[in-house]
Every structure is written in structure tokens, then in C-alpha cells.
A and B are shown apart, each in its own frame.
Chain A
Amino acid sequence: VQPPEKPLQAEEWNKLREDFQLPEIFEEVMLNSMIRCNSPIDVAKSLLTHVAKRNGDVAYNVLVKYLTLCVQQGQVSEIRDVYDIMKVRFKILEDGAYNLLIKGLSNSDQWRMALTLLEEIKKITIPSRTCYESCIKAASRHQEMKLAFELYNEMMAKGVVPTLDVLQSFFHFSRGVNGAELQKELFGILLYLRENQIYPHKTLMRSIKLWFESIPGGNWRGRLTKIKDSGQCPVCNHQLEDSNLTEEEYSNLSESLIRDVIHGTDTFRKTSPKEFEAFQTFVESRLPFDIVIDGLNVSHIKSRKMQCENLFDAVNCLAKENARLLVLGRKHMLMNSSNWKREIMKEMQNKADFFFAENISEDDAFLLYATLRSGKHCKFVTRDFLRDHKACLSDSVRRHLFRKWQRGHQISKKKCFSSVFSQQPAFRYDCVVQTTGDTWHIPYKDVFEEKHSYQVPRKWLCIQQK
């Protein structure tokens, strides 16, 4: 339906309504299209007047639609009027209307009313993050940083995850403001990014940079850069944190891997207790390995080649560096077949240790176990992203640890594998927000959405105090 351009008389509306196929939902459809076309508010008013005259009442959903239009056009007095009407007419409102009201009011000089509305929602339910976002933005726009941070801490306490836009507004509006307390809170946000391995987008990064540079007497200077593979920042020559886990993190990760990934709800799902025990004794007797290879995964690198040849190439290439290798496979690899030649398998077994799991067992879990058990220096080779194993871990802290460890220890691109591996080689440095007190290094991404959880940004913001 095309909404009219000018307010209509009751009769004209009536005619339009009668021509419409489903007269019951005419108002809704009409208002929807008004919202879409951003029609003048007077047209919508005339429709409401027509409805009110005909029914003596305007239904709630029609009111909400009208409210959407008002919010879209920033008609503050109308928003207030609608709110007044709604408040008396209904005991409580539903979250859609609250969201709209808060969004509309927080952008006006009546932004404090949005705060009272927020209090009202809290009585019924936990406010959505967009509600908090609007209120926080409004507060910080009016330089009420203390209030904004109160709201921020409150939403964090309730487990509502803030959007990056909220964080950006903190940095944006704190520019040039002095105060130890404020600085502490903002550093807190940066640490929040660090702990949750969140990478800011370009806009947020720019706000952070400008805020740092605006601190009175701080003498901060930010530069955009790319970190070398060695982990050194080209701007300040500072060495970034290395990707190794701490002892505590390491043991935490290996414990939860055994508990959640290998055993899970039932050990029989991925392996069997007997097999796992056999594997454990096998690993313990030959520790430590330098590189653990997922035999089946590597054997599929080049589809043109025989599978055992692929594996043979990989083993040969890695064995040159005098490393202790462990290849994990399944029993069917030992059967002489067109893809698995017995002689080649024999030859490989001279160069590396092999463990063959049952055909129905999951070898990935063994791969992770053997690598972790061998110690921090040990790396593993597979093209698998191991997402399903990450998903088995019980909480996000452990999942972050897993990703960090994986980035530091998974080899998937080596010269000898030519261009087959498209993933990056094991990272030597840790890709998170980090600080030494007088420097900050913040990785950021160019686009708003990051596609894959295993990918990390290559671009960094280096902030240095002179």
C-alpha cells in the first residue's frame, strides 16, 4: 500500500479501508508502510483520528506503530503524549514499546525521562541491551560520565553484553576530560576487551586513539601498524606478549579437555575407556613429542595424490628438522588398499611414532591430548578448525583459552605443503589488547563483523607514552 502524502478526511480513509482486501488489518499495514516510507507524521495522525472516531479507541499495536514513526522522526512531544496515553491506559507496557520510548526520549533534551522508564522496566524484566545502550549514550552525551558508568556496571552485573557502540561512546565523550576515576573506568573497558578477546572495529579504535591523545598532560601518541611475525611492534619496538599459556591456564585447559572433550557425558561416544587407557600408556611411554600429526586430515591435502603419499610427504618434510613426530590414524590405514600402500606405511613408521585408533573412534580428541601432554613446545598439524571440540568445553573462559592455545600451537601452513593450507601458521605472539603501563597495543578489525572465530585481526593500534 502506498501511504497518502497529505492528511485525509475520515471519509477518504474509510474508502481506502474498504478497498483494502483485509479491512481488519488495514491500519497496521498502512502504518507499516508509513514507517517504511517515513511519511509525514500528520498523515499518521489523521489516520489515528479516523480510527479513534470510528472505534472510540486506538489498539495497542497501532499505538506502538505510531510510536515507531514518531521515534523515527524524533518527534519528542508526540512521544511524550503517546507515553502519557499509554501509561494511563495500560498497567504495564511491553518491551517493544519501552525500547521505542527509551530510544526516542534518550535522543532528546528529556533524556532523563528515559532513565525513569528504564527503572520501570527493571520492575518487570531485565532491560534489553539496546535500552541500556540508549541510556548510556544519552548520559555520556550530556557529560554525566559517572551516571553512564553506573548504568554500564549495572548491565554488566546483570549479564547483559554491551555493544561496541556503547564502549565507543564512552571513549568518544570522555575526550579531553580529566579525572583519575574516569581513566580507571576506561582502562577497565580495555581490560574487558582483553579478557573476552573482543577486537574493536575501526570506529571504536579511532575513538580510543583520540581519547588517549586527548588526556591532558598524558603525552600519549597512537599509531596504526602491523605487527611482525616475530611479535615485535615496528613503531615502538616493543615485544608483544607471547602466545603461551601460563602454567595454571595450561593445566586448566588440559584437564577440561580430558573431562569435556574426551570423556564428555559418555566416554564411549568418542572412544572407549580401554582404548583411551591404551593410548595414555602409549603416549606416556614415548613422551615428549615435538609435532603431533592428524594423519587422516593431512592425507587428504591433495586429492590427486594417493592418501598415503600425502602423509608420507608431510612426515618427510617435518622429520627433517629432527623432530619427534607422532602420527594419529585409524586402523583401516593398516589394511593394504589402493590408498594405503603397506610398504609406504612401513617406511613412515620408521620415521615417526604411530597410533591407530579404532575406525569408529574420534582421533581429534587424541590429537589434542597428546599435544597438550607433551608440553608447551609441542605443536600439532591439521587443517581442521576443531570447532566441534571447542564447543564441547563448558564455559567461555575455557573456550578462549582453547582458541589462544590453538593459535599458538596449530601448524597448518608450511612451505612443504605448498599452497594447500590457507590458514596462518602458529602465532608466536598473543593477539589480544595488552599493556605495559606506558604502552598499549590494541588489535582491531576493519569490518564490523568478524567472519570466523579462528581468524584474528592483523592490524594494530600502538599507543605510546612519551
Chain B
Amino acid sequence: MQSANMLLRKIVGSSVLPFAAQHGMKKDLFPLSRTLSLSLCLKQDKSCEPSEKLDLDEWKKVMKSRLQEEVSETVSEPKELSSLAAARETLEMWRLAGRAVPEKISEDQLKTFMECPSKSAKKKYLKYLHIKELYKKNDKRKMDEKRERRLEAQDEASKTDETKKSSFVCLWTSTMDKAYNWRAAQSMIFGQPLVFDMSYEKEMSVREVTNTVRQLVLSESCNRRSVDPFHIHFCNFKDDSLYQREFIKHYREAWDKLLITVTDQCYTEIFPKDKLIYLTADSPKVMKTFDHDKIYIVGSMVDKSIKTGVSLARAKRLGLETAALPLEKYLLWSTGAKNLTLDQMMHILLTLKDTADWKKALEFVPKRKYCGFVNKPVKDLKKTLDLINTLKLGKAREEVEKKFAKNYPKKYRLKQK
């Protein structure tokens, strides 16, 4: 779009203007005469200024003569803008100034933008839209490329025209789905329950709820695909909540056919209290083994603003047992918060349930958050740490030690020198 505009301007600007002034012609030049006039123009310039002196303010003349044209075109436009149109105008200017602003913006988005309480909130929101737009564009491009490649492949396939022979019919996704659903249905009767506590809507912003639901959708699908799925419970689930609306956005009609239990009851009403364990990173207790007779609760909350102790408070209020994953026991933690996403939790719990192998289960913790596993004996651990320390220079050594000491008090503390 923009390049087309530029081209148009190029035509209009560079060729017409010198002439337009002299001959009173405007715009009705034939495209053919463009090259001609341009070369003429250049020649004129040179002949006029033999001393090769530059007219430094020429760009102003160009701009101003352009202006006259445009002004005569835009005269009929109404002067006062509605606030919405003004906001759109501002955005357009920001885009021209090269800020992170989406090219297209819907009416709703514009309204959200105007309702942002501060300038920085506005900037943040626009950046978010901008990045979203970029992703979408990229996806679309990739899809197109893929389609092209597929068409090419089809062409070639039709040329060779070979029929494959196989004793099995190709397993289509619908067949797989049936198998998965059968398993999930079985888990609803015999499976170990896993509770997602859906009582955090008030603690979250709209975007955090959206992210939560997305993570839940991911967790549900990986549960369904596992060998021995959990029986998922969404407890404290209110009808017509933001959660529900988001779920319906994701699942559409399938929402009512999901093989999970959704209830507005609290988990304490459904299960005996002594069987419940609330999983929270703030818990002082560390989980040692996965217990197949217990019912684990995961808080459905994405917490971008570090509200510590919210889920622990829930468990405390109801007098439930709590537990945290033994992240520090098994991983040499480096950066990031200890709270994991819901789908990571799901992967970890599923793996634990199948294998009871912490190392395997904690593979699902994002790699950027830890340096390595500490399932080796402490002596080995010390060796690797010493190695790290010698690699890092002077100050860094102290820092590593400090970090280590913070994460692993007393027991594994390094000797001083």
C-alpha cells in the first residue's frame, strides 16, 4: 500500500510539479510522458545551475506545492473529529513516526486503547497489538508457502501416480480422537482426579484470564493424549464467568462434549479433606513422591504481577495440606520464578504418575530456568560448581556461591577456598 503511494507520489511529485507551475497542468499528464518529463527536468536543473550550487530549500518548495494540491482536495472534509476518529488519527501519526503500532485496529481495540488509564498503558497495549499482528502476518505467510509446496507435491504425485499397499488403513485423526476419548471416558470412571481451582478470576486481569484458559486448554489436550489420563475437575467454576466465555471461544461446541467434570462446587465439597493436597510454589512443604491416592489441586491462575501467597492463602483458609514441587532439590535453579505454567504442571504430574521419575518429570521445567540436574551425589555437584566458579572470574565466583547458598542452605554449602 505504502509503496504504491510512494510510486504515485514519485510520479506526481517529481515530474508534474516543475511543469504544473509553469503550464498550469495538473495530474492529467499521461503516464507515458513521465520518463520524458523527468529527464527534461534533470537537464533543466543542470542548465540552470551551471555552478552546481545546490538549492538547499528546494525540498520545502516541493512539499509546499504538494500541499497546495492536497489542500484543494481536502477542503470539503469536516474539521472537527469525533474522539474515536481523533484516536485513530493519533495512531496513524504514531505509526508514521515509526512507533510500534498495529496497521489495522478494530473499533473495539480502539476503545480499549482509549480506556487505558495512562500513557504507558496505551503504549504497552499498542505494542501488544503490533506484535500480535506481526505473528499473524508471519503465520499467514507460512501457510501460503506451505499450501504452495503442497500443491507442487500433489502435482508431482499425480504425475508418478503410485498406489501404496498396506495392510492397515491409514489412521486418521478422527480414529485417534475416538481412541483418546475412550481413554478419557475411562478415566472419568476409574481415573485419579486432578482438580483445577477456578476461583481466581478476581485476582487476574482480563489478559491473565485469557492466558490461563489457553494453558488449561493445552493441559486438557495433553492429558487426553496421555496413556493414563487424569480425571480433570474444574471446581469453583461459575457459569457466565470470564473463564467460561474464554473456554467457549477456544472449544466452541466441543466445550459441552469435553470429558471432564466442571462444577461450581468447591473441591472440599466433593472430596474428603484429608485426601486433598494443594500444589503451590509458596508452600513450605516439599513434595517427595507422587501419591496415587491423593487428589492434587492446581490453582488456575496466571500471575504476572507476583502476588505471592494467594493460593497458599486459599489452602490455609480451608485447612488443606499443601505441597511444592521439589525444584530446588533436583534442579540447580538459575533464574525465573518457581511458579510454572499449568500445562507444564500437567506434563510433570502425568509423567510422575506414569514413571515416578523426578528427573524425567522435571524435564518439563523450562530449560532457561535452571542450569542442570542435581540428582548426582553432593560430591559431584561440588565439583561441577567448582568448575563453574573457576570458569567465571573473581566477583562472579562470589555471586555463584551466594546464589547457591541461598538456594541450598547449610547442607551443600561450599568450603571457603
Contacts and interface: CB of A to CB of B under 8 A. Distances in A.
Binding between chains A and B = yes
Interface of A: 7, 9, 28, 42, 45-46, 48-49, 51-61, 64, 81, 85, 88-94, 96-97, 124-125, 265-270, 272, 359-360
B67 interface: yes
Contact of B71 (A9, A59, A88, A266): A88
B9 A56 contact: yes
A60 B2 CA distance: 13
A95 to B, nearest CB: 9
Nearest to B309: A269
Contacts of B6: 55, 57
A441 to B, nearest CB: 36
6 contacts: A52-B13, A52-B63, A56-B13, A92-B93, A125-B90, A268-B314
A55 B8 CA distance: 9
B50 interface: no
From B11, B12, B93, B308, residue with most partner A Cβ within 10 Å: B93
A85 B14 contact: no
B54 A85 contact: no
Nearest to B285: A360
Contacts of B162: none
B177 interface: no
Nearest to A267: B313
Interface stretch (B94-102, B328-336, B351-359, B396-404): B94-102
Given A270-B309, A360-B284, A49 B59 contact: yes
B79 to A, nearest CB: 9
Nearest to A8: B54
Interface in B297-352: 308-310, 312-314, 316-317
Interface string B56-96: 11111011101100110000000001000010011001101
B149 interface: no
B284 A81 contact: no
B55 interface: yes
A93 B96 CA distance: 10
A452 to B, nearest CB: 21
B299 to A, nearest CB: 13
Interface of B is mostly: helix
B284 A45 contact: no
Contacts, number: 117
A56 B12 contact: yes
Contact of A94 (B9, B97, B317): B97
A212 B310 CA distance: 54
Contacts of B58: 49, 52-53
A59 B89 contact: no
B52 interface: yes
Given A53-B62, A61-B96, A124 B86 contact: yes
Given A125-B90, A359-B284, A54 B14 contact: yes
A88 B97 contact: no
Given A56-B62, A92-B89, A46 B52 contact: no
B113 to A, nearest CB: 12
Given A7-B54, A57-B9, A97-B97, 14 more contacts: A9-B52, A9-B54, A53-B58, A53-B62, A56-B9, A58-B63, A89-B63, A89-B67, A89-B70, A91-B81, A91-B89, A94-B94, A268-B317, A269-B308
A209 to B, nearest CB: 36
Nearest to A360: B284
Given A96-B97, A97-B97, A49 B55 contact: yes
B90 A53 contact: no
B316 A272 contact: yes
Given A54-B14, A125-B90, A85 B316 contact: no
B184 interface: no
Nearest to B308: A269
Contact of A53 (B14, B52, B312): B14
A407 to B, nearest CB: 27
Contacts of B314: 268
A265 B314 CA distance: 12
Given A52-B62, A56-B17, A269 B93 contact: no
Contacts of A90: 93, 96
A94 B312 CA distance: 47
A363 to B, nearest CB: 14
Interface in B1-19: 6, 9-14, 17
B359 to A, nearest CB: 29
A34 B18 CA distance: 30
Given A7-B56, A94-B93, A125-B90, A55 B9 contact: yes
B97 A61 contact: yes
From A56, A125, A267, residue with most partner B Cβ within 10 Å: A56
A56 B96 contact: no
A266 B70 CA distance: 61
A6 to B, nearest CB: 10
Nearest to B61: A52
Contact of B313 (A42, A64, A92, A266): A266
B281 to A, nearest CB: 13
B9 A88 contact: no
A444 B383 CA distance: 53
Contacts of B96: 59-61, 90, 94
Contact of B59 (A51, A60, A89): A51
Contacts of B309: 268-270
A9 B56 CA distance: 10
B114 to A, nearest CB: 11
Contact of A60 (B9, B11, B12, B93): B93
A88 B67 contact: yes
A341 B313 CA distance: 32
A56 B66 contact: yes
A42 B58 CA distance: 12
Nearest to B315: A268
Nearest to B318: A268
B13 A124 contact: no
B279 to A, nearest CB: 16
